[in-house]
């Protein structure tokens, strides 16, 4: 029995890992784009000659839209977002864009997770970028470097060093959040445990915790290693 349960839970772990890695691969870069959006200083009316109210001069449409989106995704439960994203198109337009079966459910879950986590990551990036002293940027400028060179050669690594601790927190939360996908019937670890519980076995549910602990344990070692690697500068 123990091996049957273990094998089933490993299958659930595979689904959780798929969701986890796909989310990371897409949400990490997307979050950076979102953070640039929320930091956008584009103000189309700032230099207008006409007599317009002061608030319109400081109006930054890109920043406003992006910050509103971030507010919505951080401000509502991920479980709700999963339900709306998976069932919404079918119920509203009679068009299930996700396709049927396991693949469709996983696809919808991945999209919901990417959007949600990109928003969380964007705020971590923003904090990291804004915490790099402005003098670093100016020192690059007076040396004739382009904005792109300054970002990639000067600011980025300093930002990465600063965001490793909050990022590792968020990524560990992501591991455990994958269990939310069972609300749209993705068979991840907890779902497998629940299935056994329905057959009258309680211990597999407790056993699921071990799988999360191992997953997070590996990540903790990895983040520790990254922090150590970046320890050579202050």
Partner 1 sequence: MAVLEVQHLEKRFGATRVLEDIGFSLEKGRALAILGSSGSGKTTLLRCLNFLETPNGGRILVNGNCIFDAADPATQRENEVRKKRLHFGMVFQAFHLFPQYTALENVTLAATLLAQERGASRDELAAIRDEGLELLRTMGLADRAQHYPHQLSGGQQQRVAIARALSLKPDILCFDEPTSALDPELTGEVLRVIRSLAERETTMIIVTHEMAFARDVADEAIFMDGGRIVEQGAARQVIEDPQNERTRRFLARYAAGGSD
Positions in the binding site for partner 1 (CB under 8 A): 133, 135-136, 138-146, 149, 153-154, 157-158, 161, 232-234
Contact of 163 with 125, CB cutoff 8 Å: yes
* Ramachandran category for residue 26: left, alpha or beta (phi over 0 → left; psi -120 to 50 → alpha): alpha
Q: How far apart are the first and last CA of the chain?
A: 53
Whose Cβ is closer to partner 1: residue 3's or residue 232's? 232
Q: Taking the complex as a whole, how short is the minimal distance between the CB of residue 66 and partner 1, in angstroms?
A: 24
Residue-by-residue DSSP string for 65-113: HHHHHHHHHHHS-HHHHHHHHHHHHHHHHS--TT-SHHHHHHHHHHHHH
Q: Taking the complex as a whole, how short is the minimal distance between the CB of residue 145 and partner 1, in angstroms?
A: 6
Whose Cβ is closer to partner 1: residue 154's or residue 183's? 154
Whose Cβ is closer to partner 1: residue 134's or residue 199's? 134
Whose Cβ is closer to partner 1: residue 128's or residue 193's? 128
Residue 171: closest CA among 106, 113, 211, 128: 113
Whose Cβ is closer to partner 1: residue 55's or residue 233's? 233
DSSP 151: I
Q: Taking the complex as a whole, how short is the minimal distance between the CB of residue 122 and partner 1, in angstroms?
A: 23
Q: Taking the complex as a whole, how short is the minimal distance between the CB of residue 136 and partner 1, in angstroms?
A: 6
Nearest 5°: the CA angle 41, 44, 46 is: 80
Q: Taking the complex as a whole, how short is the minimal distance between the CB of residue 141 and partner 1, in angstroms?
A: 7
């Amino acid at each position: 029995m123990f091996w049957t349960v273990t094998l089933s839970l490993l299958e659930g772990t595979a689904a959780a890992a798929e969701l986890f890695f796909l989310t990371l691969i897409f949400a990490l870069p997307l979050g950076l784009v979102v953070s640039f959006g929320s930091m956008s200083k584009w103000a189309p009316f700032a230099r207008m000659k006409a007599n317009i109210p002061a608030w319109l001069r400081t109006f930054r449409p890109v920043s406003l839209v992006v910050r509103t989106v971030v507010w919505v995704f951080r401000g509502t439960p991920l479980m709700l977002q999963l339900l709306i994203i998976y069932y919404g198109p079918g119920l509203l337009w009679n068009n299930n864009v996700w396709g049927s079966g396991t693949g469709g459910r996983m696809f919808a879950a991945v999209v919901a997770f990417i959007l949600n986590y990109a928003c969380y990551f964007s705020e971590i990036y923003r904090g990291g970028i804004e915490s790099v002293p402005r003098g670093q940027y100016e020192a690059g400028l007076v040396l004739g470097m382009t904005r792109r060179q300054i970002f990639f050669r000067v600011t980025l690594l300093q930002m990465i060093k600063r965001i490793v601790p909050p990022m590792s927190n968020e990524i560990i939360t992501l591991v455990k959040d994958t269990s939310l996908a069972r609300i749209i019937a993705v068979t991840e670890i907890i779902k497998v445990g629940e299935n056994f519980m329905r057959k009258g076995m309680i211990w597999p549910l407790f056993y699921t915790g071990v799988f999360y602990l191992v997953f997070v344990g590996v990540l903790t070692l990895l983040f520790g290693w990254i922090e150590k690697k970046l320890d050579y500068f202050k």
